[in-house]
Amino acid sequence: MAFVQNVPFFSIMLSMFSGIVSSILPGKWARRLNTFMIIVVAALSAWLFAFMATSDIGSYTYAMGHFPAPIGNELRAGVLEAGTALFFCIIMLLSLWGGREKQILEITERQQNLYYILCNLLLSSLLALIYTNDLFTAYVFIEINTIAAGGLIMVRQNGHCIEATIRYMIMSLLGSGLLLMGICMLYDLTGHLLMSNIKEQVDIIMAAGTYRIPMLITIGIMTVGLAIKSALFPFHSWVPDAYGYSTVSSGAILSSLVSKGYIFLLIKIFYRVIGFDTIAGSHILNILFIFGLCGMIFGSVSAIGENDIRRMIAFSSVAQIGYIYMGLGLGTEMGVIAAVFHLLSHGATKSLLFVSAVGLTDASGGSRHFTDLTGAAFRNKTAGVGFLVGSFSMVGIPVFAGFVSKLLFAEAAVLLPNWKMFPTLIVLAVSTVLNAIYFLKTVIRIYTPVKPEVLAEKGFECKHFKQQVLFGVTIVLFIIVNLILGMKSQPIIELIEQGLHNFM
């Protein structure tokens, strides 16, 4: 075994231990440690990614503590896992950089290091969800993830944030309760907790044709549990408050990473635990498909009616999660590839939107209402360009990441052999139009010039690139990530396809 194959274990442990060390460090050093740790984990993941993409082993399992299969705990890595870990690290680092100025203002000095403890724990739990090969480990890390995410929302201690946290916790607990019940029932049916062992037993059970109803219920409650946790419509009631009122880094991390971690785990469960043919043969996917379609429409309609820019972006997340579940619900491999690609493109775009929206509101005296945002893009040019790119990507203008994922969804829909083709295409078109309405409305508003005397009256200030170098650099890096996803999509799609094959 090559040394690089230890990377999954190293990256989980590194982020977890830096969380523990941060608890005794002052805020500034905790922040430095956090930045250093994320860069190291990103570099390690990139190393593993390069190794997995060039070698022909496909994927491998890593026995923790060298205990053999049914007893020991296992990690498992392939090209898709390493790539997702790398992507998550990059987005997390950029979100933290982009929101740093705001976060220093909004969080008290004494709690600065607590914020970074939560970030480190969140990253380690996300990495564990990506790499683990054991269902119960996945459950434990899901709970760590939930608690850390709750902390990230609540760290800015006003009434809105605490209320949002409690709503988030309630929905998450419903989801994880269902998931735990599902895992216990699956353990009861198969006698194993490791994914590969469960898969063998599930194949035997399905071939024998016994336990059909328990199996269906198990798959159903696990899927619904993870869907609730990743805010699929109609379980999205906590989303606008949690993403809209928390400090901006938290909003960006929650919307672009936390919900994606659960979806990644769900895809893993589909492929590696139950088997995609079994899932496609049950009717669970149709339910996901229909709720995904409803989410695409209702999320966009709610966003159009919203007057607060951050809440608008949050509602747009509901619509985008709908896209991902719609892709999974198609029940074909093409659909899953499109869903995974959208997972990446939405992650890159939504965090960019959140970060640049904060630049715009700061240039408007902290107000988040549309009337005050008029001309904000001229007062903070970097944020304006960032918001423009994010909007174009969400609407699906070519060159940007969102276009490729919409194209992939449409391709997957056209290739479908069943009734799902027309609803998918129609809803995709309607949803794109709705996206265009609210994003372009905002873009036009921020690029509408305002008379200088009005500005002077309201006391809005201009911000130049030199005053906010870190923010500017972050926006540029975000745009580069978006363009890479949009223009170099073909190799990425091939890698996703290869990664999904290795899942089996």
Partner 1 sequence: MGVNLVQNIGEAVAMILFGIGFANLFFQKNLIKKIIGFNIMDTAIFLFLAEKGYIAGRMAPIVVDGIQDVEAYINPIPSGLVLTGIVVSVSVSALMLSLTIRLYHRYHTLDLDEISAKLRKEEM
Judged by the rule CB under 8 A, the positions of this chain that interact with partner 1 are 136, 140, 143, 146-147, 150, 154, 157, 159-160, 162-163, 165-167, 169-170, 173-174, 177-178, 180-181, 184, 187-188, 193
Shorter beta-carbon distance to partner 1: residue 161 or 353:
161
CA 341, CA 114: separation in Å to the nearest integer? 33
Please state the closest distance from residue 143 (CB atom) to partner 1, in A.
5
Longest CA pairwise span in the chain (Å): 79
Identify residue 456 by its one-letter amino acid code.
Answer: A
Shorter beta-carbon distance to partner 1: residue 35 or 196:
196
C-beta neighbour count of 406 within 10 angstroms: 24
CA 465, CA 476: separation in Å to the nearest integer? 11
Please state the closest distance from residue 187 (CB atom) to partner 1, in A.
8
In the structure encoding, which two tokens stand for residue 231, read together?
């805010």
Local structure of residue 331 (DSSP, 8 states): -
How far lies 504's CA from each of 37, 212, 239, 291, 332, in Å?
32, 22, 33, 27, 14
Please state the closest distance from residue 48 (CB atom) to partner 1, in A.
29
Please state the closest distance from residue 159 (CB atom) to partner 1, in A.
5
How far lies 440's CA from each of 395, 443, 449, in Å?
8, 5, 16
Shorter beta-carbon distance to partner 1: residue 49 or 115:
115
Shorter beta-carbon distance to partner 1: residue 150 or 486:
150
Shorter beta-carbon distance to partner 1: residue 170 or 414:
170
Residue whose C-alpha is closest to residue 226's, from 277, 144, 171, 187 = 171
Please state the closest distance from residue 167 (CB atom) to partner 1, in A.
8
Cβ–Cβ < 8 Å for 46, 86: yes
Shorter beta-carbon distance to partner 1: residue 119 or 479:
119
Q: Is the dihedral of CA 146, 265, 176, 350 positive or negative?
A: positive
Please state the closest distance from residue 130 (CB atom) to partner 1, in A.
20
> Alpha helix (H) ranges present in 233-332?
239-245, 248-253, 259-268, 276-281, 284-304, 309-329
Shorter beta-carbon distance to partner 1: residue 127 or 193:
193
Please state the closest distance from residue 100 (CB atom) to partner 1, in A.
26
Q: For the chain, how far is it from start to end, CA to CA, in angstroms?
A: 21
